[in-house]
Amino acid sequence: MNRVPILHSTDIDRAVSCLASGGLVALPTETVYGLGAAINKPEAINRIFNVKGRPTNHPLIVHVSDWDMALPLISEPLHEYVKALVSAFTPGPITFILPKSVALSDAITGGQNSVGIRIPNHPVTHLILQQLGVAVAAPSANKFGEVSPTSALHVFNDLNDVLNPDRDAIMDGGESEIGLESTIVDCRSDVPKILRPGAITEEMIREVVGTVESVETPDIRVSGALEKHYSPRAIVRIINSFEEVKNTMSQVGFIALEQVPTPLNTIRLAMPQHAIEFAQVLYDALRKADDLNLQEVYVVVPEDRGIGIAIRDRVTRAAH
């Protein structure tokens, strides 16, 4: 069977030529792995949707090496606070929704007049974007609705059967440092609005801008905001007490901070020491549940502050 090549992190040239010739390359970022196509390769952009099984009206995030590369893709004037957010948090785990320029194709933005811009903080992907000199559209490198990948192996397991070994590649950049998708901030009105929580928290944004809103159900198409998303095959449940585990008949996986003891008759899938580590290992632990063919996974989420808010958001959607 043909296998899609997994490139070593030093093989920047090969990743760049793959993108330049219209192939798809799975790229490491600090949040999760993305499935990238150069924005000037329309056929490659279309293939992203096929490979993921993603509806074509869901917009893609456009990744750039620095703010200058973003400028031709957006339409000015921007609100003053955008500059402050860009300088405070980029490169980093944040995506800005901005008015798009006419140059940017509808296929990338799902027909919307806005674009999501992200400057990822990963040395390998930074070099690839810089050498390519063209922005790269990339959703998370998983099948639509399933768990995002935080390693090259996750991507391989999810997409090897649908990628083309002669044209596409997976770039191995190690495990994603954060483990949850970027914070998405809509920057089109006077006050920035958080559409998807992430490692850059509401408090962090408020400190820079003064005001910020969090939107429960955004009315624009943020697929990560669909009620059900980020789901393994196993049924996910958020629990608060062990009593809820007692009467289960099925094989149950268990994810909680180290300080929470493992209930009897459950299989411990992760025991991170703090919320930051919880975010790092969560998706791998949910994937383990499926590898072990568990029917259910019970999760005790960390406190609702800092990255804990994004953790609860993703586990809640996985549980829906």
By CB under 6 A, name the binding residues for ligand TXA. 29, 31-32, 34, 58-61, 95, 97, 109, 112, 114-116, 118, 120, 138-140, 181-182, 184, 220-224
Q: How far is the CB of 244 from ligand TXA (least distance, A)?
A: 31
Q: Which of ligand TXA, Mg ion, none does residue 297 bind to, with CB < 5 to 8 Å depending on kind?
A: none
- The answer to whether 182 contacts Mg ion (rule: CB under 5 A) is no
CA pair distance 3, 155, nearest whole angstrom: 12
CA pair distance 111, 6, nearest whole angstrom: 33
Site for Mg ion in 122-141 (CB under 5 A): 140
- With contacts defined by CB under 5 A, how many residues of the chain interact with Mg ion? 1
Q: Which of Mg ion, ligand TXA, none does residue 34 bind to, with CB < 5 to 8 Å depending on kind?
A: ligand TXA
Site for Mg ion in 136-165 (CB under 5 A): 140
Chain residue at closest Cβ approach to Mg ion: 140
Q: How far is the CB of 186 from ligand TXA (least distance, A)?
A: 7
CA pair distance 195, 289, nearest whole angstrom: 29
Nearer Cβ to Mg ion (204/226)? 226
Q: Which of Mg ion, ligand TXA, none does residue 143 bind to, with CB < 5 to 8 Å depending on kind?
A: none
Nearer Cβ to ligand TXA (137/300)? 137
Q: Which of ligand TXA, Mg ion, none does residue 23 bind to, with CB < 5 to 8 Å depending on kind?
A: none
Contact (CB, 8 A) for 286 and 142: no
Q: How far is the CB of 13 from Mg ion (least distance, A)?
A: 28
Helices (H) and strands (E) in the chain — how many of each? 11, 15
List the structure tokens of 288: 């383990």
- The answer to whether 201 contacts Mg ion (rule: CB under 5 A) is no
Across 132-169, b (16+ Cβ under 10 Å) vs e yields bebbbbbbbbbebebbbbbbbebbbebbbeebeeeebb
> Quick one: DSSP state of residue 226?
S
3-class SS of residue 129: helix
Give strand pairing partners of 25.
Answer: 36, 169
Q: Which helix (H) or strand (E) holds 141?
A: none
Nearer Cβ to ligand TXA (23/139)? 139
Q: Which of Mg ion, ligand TXA, none does residue 32 bind to, with CB < 5 to 8 Å depending on kind?
A: ligand TXA
Give strand pairing partners of 185.
Answer: 96, 194
For the chain, what is the radius of gyration of the CA atoms?
Answer: 19
List the structure tokens of 181: 């998708």
- The answer to whether 109 contacts Mg ion (rule: CB under 5 A) is no
Q: How far is the CB of 100 from ligand TXA (least distance, A)?
A: 7
CA pair distance 39, 136, nearest whole angstrom: 5
Rounded to the nearest 5 degrees, what angle is found at the Cα of 178, between the Cα atoms of 176 and 183? 120
Q: How far is the CB of 183 from ligand TXA (least distance, A)?
A: 8
Q: How far is the CB of 38 from ligand TXA (least distance, A)?
A: 15
Q: How far is the CB of 32 from ligand TXA (least distance, A)?
A: 5
Cα–chain center distance at 79: 26
Nearer Cβ to ligand TXA (128/245)? 128
Which residues form the interface with Mg ion (CB under 5 A)? 140
